[in-house]
Chains A and B, each alone.
Chain A
Amino acid sequence: MILTAALGIPLLGALALAFWPRWQEQQARVFAIITAVVPLLLMLWSWVRFDPSGPLFQLVEEVEWVPSLGMGFRLGVDGIALAIATMSALLFTAAAAYPVDTKGMPRQYYAWVLFLESVSLGVFLSLDLLLFYVFFDLNLVGMYFLIGRWGHGRPQYSALKFFLYTLLGSLALLLAILGLYLASEPRTFDMRELIAQQPLAGVAPAAGLVLLGFVLGFAIKTPLVPFHTWLPQAHVDAPAPASAILAGVLLKMGTFGLIRIPYSMMRQTFADYALWLAILAVISILYGAVVALGQGDLKRRIAYTSINHMGYTVLGIAVAGALLEGSETARQLALTGATIEMVAHGLITGSLFLIAGSFWERGKSYDMDYYGGLGAKAPMMTGLTALAAFASLGLPGLAGFVAEFHIFVGTFGVYPWLAGIALLGILITAALFLQMLQRLFFGKLPPQWSGFPDLRVSEWTVLGVLLAFVVIIGVYPSFLIDIIEPTSRWLVGAG
């Protein structure tokens, strides 16, 4: 019941907020934080209960729903899902706790955040294909309202663009799910069953089309170049905590989905096309980094680095699935690295977007050249931003390096050339993050910022917790790797 509770409690919390009209701002906020912490604690408990040497899927809960169709309410975790779900729960707590202008609608705002938490955890925890799809789509709704109602700039436009673009991906995904379902015998939506069956293995054109559907759906969500243009716009106009969730949690559904469905359930077909996916990932890595360097808008810059980092994740996944056997160690490293990258990117980019929100709150602008010289004025903000920026550019001792090193070493064992090309990405990210720090915190302080306030307690505690985990993963990665490794070993077929 742990997993059901983890996604049920925030849902109940959301309903309570929605139908409890007398709550004021502060009450709603405290209630939301407390409710958001519960799934985090439950995930930590699952972490303790999870046995790395046990079966692949653990803590399984299953209720038959429509047995004739093979549908059911099935939840469970492997090491990868556990790591990502725990990170997501942490990020949701941070998002709920980070101060934000709720525009006089605190109940509704926090209700949507909790709703989003519930359905996001649902994506990572479900072991039923249909359930996965429903949760996957419900995310769009939650995010649509958070951007559309509490955003700034052109929120309606951005929210709608986000919604329609990613819904298009969902449709491709739905068709692919149906294709996979129809090929299963006996027909089922049970993921464990589908992984065991490997339907569509050897059914050449159909398998390719179904894979295309999955990859298209997840590539839009991740996003990979050239399906990425919804992302920067959505980020710029979204409120900071929603941006953090969008980058930290929602993007992961694309890469997590890639591992969970096409990678696991269509091993043969995935291996056939893995090189193409890897090339697309390398293009995203370089393109995302270069275009990020060209952005003068703080949030757009961070958004494009997300494309770069998610490119690393997809590269790791593609490498891991490139072969059915051989190079097991390298592929295992790549998949472990891809998972760590998801966790690391969630924490790091989540922090960066929250910081961007603090800039918006103080200056109502994301233009980096509008700021400058804030280092002496806001040392706490400078220090935490520098920490997050260095983590994002892959400095050793912080989480991003652990992830990227695994991915590079793994990739080199399978596609040496792609590894060499992708490596250039870390040089460009170094350039762009140092330049970002330079424009915001170094140089002369413009006179209008002589009263620029440093981070408040409510801001730096949240950032401090997120970044503390970035440091912990960087210096003590074994606690995370030990959870992920058995799963990635199983998934690359090394037993």
Chain B
Amino acid sequence: MLWLIPLLPLLLAPALYAGWLNTGRRSMAVSAAGLSMVVAALVAWGLAGDWSGSYRWGSVLGLELGMSSLTAVFALTLPLVAAPILIYAAAHEQPEGLARLMALLTAFVGAMELLLLAQDLLTLLIAWELVGALSWALIAHHGADAARVENARWAFLVTRFGDLGLYLAAAVAFAETGSLAYSSLSQLDGAMLDLFVACVLLAAASKSAQLPFSPWLFAAMSGPTSASALLHSATMVSAGVYLIAQLHSTLAGAGWFGPLALWLGLATALTASLVAILQPHGKRLLAASTSAHHGLMWIAVGAGYPTIAALHFVFHAFAKAPLFLAVGVAGERAGSYQLADMRLGRTFPALAGASAVVALALAGMFPLGAAWTKEAVVTAAGHHAAWAAVITALVGGLSAAYAARFQLTVFGWQRREDGNGRFQEASGSQERASVYAFALASLVGGLLWLPGASETVGHWLGASLPPFKAWELTLSLVLVVLGLIFGAWLAIRLNKSERSTSLAADWLGLPAAARQWLQVPGTQLVGGLARLDDRWDGTVDGISHAAAATAMTLARGDDHVVDAGVSASGRFGIWLAELNSRAGEWLFDELPEGVGMLSGRAARLASRLQTGMVHHYYSIVATGFAAILVTFIIGELL
């Protein structure tokens, strides 16, 4: 029964696509969002009904689905985030290829549900790669723009490089335990466990845009806004966090996993926050922030609290998705995603207000839901070491800085120089309604700050959440306020000339280095090997030409001999006639005798051959070649 959840959107997507080709935007929005809500209901039902699912491939391999409370958190958040995004997409995106985009987004939800429900590495790998391929199709949606399609390929290749880790992890698990099920992973130990953990880390880090894979998120910005919103909030990027949270008990078996994940998360969160602060491009700012917040989730898992990572995932998703949607509306109005071109607060006052709520949530401002989960991450980091908590709180401050900078540049109140002035918010009500819904969810999330709420949530999830420490909380909130002020200052300072991306804002030059050290030598290797292959082909040809030349020489020699023979045969005939007249009598006597003698000898030879194996070879060779020859002759005659 659990199969219904992933298969419903996956299988219905092509059918809906055919239907959507000839329907209006409104019915698209209703059917797509409706399907998402059905998926959400199925997840709830499946959790209550303790559903499971399995599917046999052969006697050895098979697929398993199952649901735990951790799975349910992700599996339920996904369709709830997807529904408003689908409504937004149906209203906002270009009419060309809209049906395809909607179908891809729907299928994406299905593939991600499959990833979440997987209970074995084969199912996981299938979903993992499907999500990657679908994201390629989403990013390459505007196919006429060659640069965007190249970006899609780049994003796909970076994440598929990580996928190799998952292939290898599956192979390690099978070789050691004879099974691919999560439940048998506990049998892993020693060097093979280390290898397994390393492979899973590679896969998870590339998917969730941790260093050094973070830049693929910028490449992914080539896709439509709604695709970015879905990719960055509840699907693709979160898959990496989900994986390490889900397999945490196995991964923690390797003592170095926790510290490494924590360090990787910290490094990514710090770097990405700086990148976001420096970014002049609205969507890229949000993309870098996605990387940073997933870094926070990595910190939580590394510190041993996968449940906190899951909770931060939920509130990050509800904050990040509407920011993308809002910047999509603003960018369309401004004609570019450059922050310096926007400041559309007058144009969209209500949207600006809703965006302010979710931006504050992203900033981690009390009393919003995302702020609570961020503080939980700080506390979790503090359980590892006090300095980790301090750095995490600092990341929170930086997060507040770029959130403020984003909000005040995109929806600032300065008069635009082109004097477009106040704009009535009549059009695009569907788009804005989606953002309002998310803002409301962020506000409701603030309930987590109520006393006793965290215990209730912890009880649902079957895990205890550590209580906040006073000094950490105070430090963290102070840093958030400082960050907001710093961000506001940055926003005011931003002027129209700031639109080029500095090296630092482009992941500290990481993509440039990758181009220089990986792409360029790679291209050279490919070209070199292709030329080498042509040369090898030339060598093979050369050998056969040499053989052919030899044969020709022999043939020419043969011609000479035959020619000479033919011309000589006239003279030979005369000579024979003369000979005959002289020795005819002798010849006619001797010839039969000689022939008889020769044939007798041949017969003896043949009978000797027959006792050996020689005639076998001949008959075999002859059969094969006679068959070829006959077909050849028929072929030539036809």
Contacts and interface: CB of A to CB of B under 8 A. Distances in A.
24 contacts: A130-B620, A137-B628, A141-B631, A161-B541, A174-B621, A174-B624, A177-B620, A178-B620, A229-B536, A291-B529, A336-B58, A390-B133, A396-B127, A402-B57, A412-B172, A419-B171, A426-B167, A430-B160, A434-B157, A438-B153, A441-B143, A443-B143, A445-B144, A478-B57
A396 B529 contact: no
Interface string A443-467: 1110000000000000000000000
Given A329-B60, A395-B130, A430-B157, 20 more contacts: A145-B635, A181-B616, A230-B540, A291-B529, A291-B533, A294-B531, A390-B133, A395-B129, A396-B125, A396-B130, A402-B57, A405-B125, A406-B61, A409-B171, A412-B174, A416-B171, A427-B161, A430-B160, A431-B153, A435-B153
A438 B146 CA distance: 8
Interface string A39-74: 000000000000000000000000000100100000
B146 A427 contact: no
B133 A477 contact: no
A16 interface: no
A408 B171 contact: yes
Contacts of B60: 329, 332-333
A373 B144 contact: yes
B150 interface: yes
Contacts of A435: 153
A287 B528 CA distance: 12
Given A423-B168, A434-B153, A401 B143 contact: no
Given A134-B627, A409-B170, A478-B56, A443 B129 contact: no
Contact of A444 (B144, B168, B527, B613): B144
Interface in B128-157: 129-130, 133, 136, 140, 143-146, 149-150, 152-153, 156-157
B480 interface: no
B632 interface: yes
A442 B144 contact: yes
Interface string B53-65: 0001111110000
A138 interface: yes
B142 to A, nearest CB: 9
A138 B129 CA distance: 42
B617 A178 contact: yes
A409 B60 CA distance: 11
Contact of A291 (B172, B530, B631): B530
A427 B526 CA distance: 14
Contact of B143 (A18, A375, A481, A482): A375
Given A291-B530, A401-B126, A226 B536 contact: yes
A408 B627 CA distance: 41
A442 B153 CA distance: 12
A164 B56 CA distance: 46
A208 interface: no
B54 to A, nearest CB: 12
Given A138-B631, A396-B130, A164 B143 contact: no
Nearest to A445: B144
A175 B122 CA distance: 44
Contacts of B563: none
Contact of A409 (B174, B530, B541, B634): B174
Contacts of A99: none
B521 interface: no
B157 A485 contact: no
Nearest to B613: A182
A420 B632 contact: no
Nearest to B192: A416
B164 interface: yes
B537 interface: yes
Interface string B535-554: 01100110010000000000
B638 interface: yes
Nearest to A18: B638
Interface of B: 56-61, 122, 125-127, 129-130, 133, 136, 140, 143-146, 149-150, 152-153, 156-157, 160-161, 164, 167-168, 170-172, 174-175, 178, 525-527, 529-531, 533, 536-537, 540-541, 544, 613, 616-617, 619-621, 623-624, 627-628, 631-632, 634-635, 638
Interface in A138-178: 138, 140-142, 145, 161, 164-165, 174, 177-178
B153 A141 contact: no
Nearest to A189: B620
A275 to B, nearest CB: 17
B280 to A, nearest CB: 27
B149 A18 contact: no
Nearest to A390: B133
A444 B525 CA distance: 28
A411 B533 CA distance: 28
A108 B526 contact: no
Interface string A218-240: 00000000100110110000000
Contact of B171 (A161, A294, A412, A431): A412
Contacts of A481: 57-58
A443 B126 CA distance: 30
A444 B142 CA distance: 11
Interface string A375-412: 11000000000000010001111000110011011011
Contact of A423 (B127, B140, B164, B620): B164
A424 B163 CA distance: 11
A426 B164 contact: yes
B535 to A, nearest CB: 10
A295 B157 contact: no
Contact of B175 (A287, A336, A412, A423): A412
Contacts of A390: 133
A332 B60 CA distance: 9
A419 B168 CA distance: 8
A469 interface: no
Contact of B526 (A111, A174, A294): A294
A397 B11 CA distance: 12
Contacts of B530: 290-291, 293-295
Nearest to B616: A69
Given A130-B620, A229-B540, A477 B529 contact: no
What 10 pairs between A and B have smallest CB-CB spacing?
Answer: A294-B530, A412-B171, A481-B58, A396-B126, A443-B146, A229-B537, A442-B149, A294-B526, A442-B143, A434-B153
Given A134-B627, A336-B58, A485-B59, A233 B537 contact: yes
